[in-house]
Structure 1
Amino acid sequence: MKNLILLIILVSVTSCTFNNVAINQEADNKDGKAFLNEFYGKINTRDFEGAEVMIGDSLKKMAGDHGISKMLQFINTKVGNYKSYKIADLYIRSITGNVNETSYNYKLKVKYQKGTIDEIIGFKRQNGKSIKINSYHAYSDLLIH
């Protein structure tokens, strides 16, 4: 009977999961800003194919082959060269424990030659791998006209 109880306790303890969740930690924000600088650095040099490499598989499947680089080229054609960005809001969620994942979500005001565009970009790091973009949205009347 003792062995059965010990076995049940052992199985219960080993099957438990432990995860710690942190929101908007400064170290994570520092990593996120470095990634944003790299991404917008590629846009600044018009290296749209280089920016495409930073896109995650799920977004590539949704956007199609070179879909994001084509969109970045379209934005460049409509509003001119990239100038700078400013973070309007952010939400960074870091999970550590049995699962190690950090998701970064930034709302940006991105300045181009002909005006400012609101952009929302989301990216994720899973299990220590490189960060990949999983969502990108740019909206402005400047893109319509």
Structure 2
Amino acid sequence: MRKIIYSLLLMIVSLTGACTFNNVAINQEADNQDGKVFLNEVYKKISTKDFDEVDTLVGDSLKQLAGSHGISKLLKFINTKVGSCKNYKISDLYIRNIAGNTNEISYNYKLKVTYQKGTIDEIIGFRRQNGGSIKINSYHAYSDLLIH
């Protein structure tokens, strides 16, 4: 009987150790404030046409997808089409904070960005893993102004 009890206890302990524990929080104000600080840093560099410096803020996964200077090339293209960046306004946001065995915060902002020749809709995403630095992991700009 004791062997059965000890076997059951050992099995419960081993199963508990294999489980993952994560808590997910959506759109916490503290996370939004951190995201806004980084967002301001990114768009300050875009406004001052320091496009190569923006590449230093890009995460590895986006660099593999777009190339090591892909984002700066895209930003230069946008700048030649619509002029300098004047300001931006956050239209929507979605921030997901996962804490526990996995620690990751993803920041997603939908923006209306005003340039010299008009306004462009942009979506930019950031990610912070395990308390490290925030990095850009997605960027999308769309407008008829970029086509003509």
TM-score (norm 1): 0.97
The 5 A counterparts of 1:90-105 are: 90-105=93-108
**Equivalent-residue separation in structure 1 for 2:140 and 2:67 (angstroms):** 15
Q: Which residue of 1 aligns with 2:18?
A: 15
Post-superposition CA distance 1:22-67 (Å, at most 9, x none): 0000001001101100000111111111101111111111112311
Across the two proteins, how many residue pairs are aligned to each other?
Answer: 145
Q: Which amino acid aligns with 1:91?
A: Y
Q: Which amino acid aligns with 2:123?
A: I
Q: Which runs of 5+ in 1 are unaligned?
A: none
Q: Which of 24, 42, 45 is residue 42 of structure 1 equivalent to?
A: 45
Post-superposition CA distance 1:85-141 (Å, at most 9, x none): 000011111100111001111100000111100000011111111111111000111
Which structure has the greater CA radius of gyration? 2
TM-score (norm 2): 0.95
The share of aligned pairs that are identical, in percent, is: 72
Q: Which runs of 5+ in 2 are unaligned?
A: none
Moved over 3 A (4+): none
**Equivalent-residue separation in structure 2 for 1:37 and 1:66 (angstroms):** 21
Aligned-residue RMSD, C-alpha:
0.9
SS in 2 for 1:111: strand
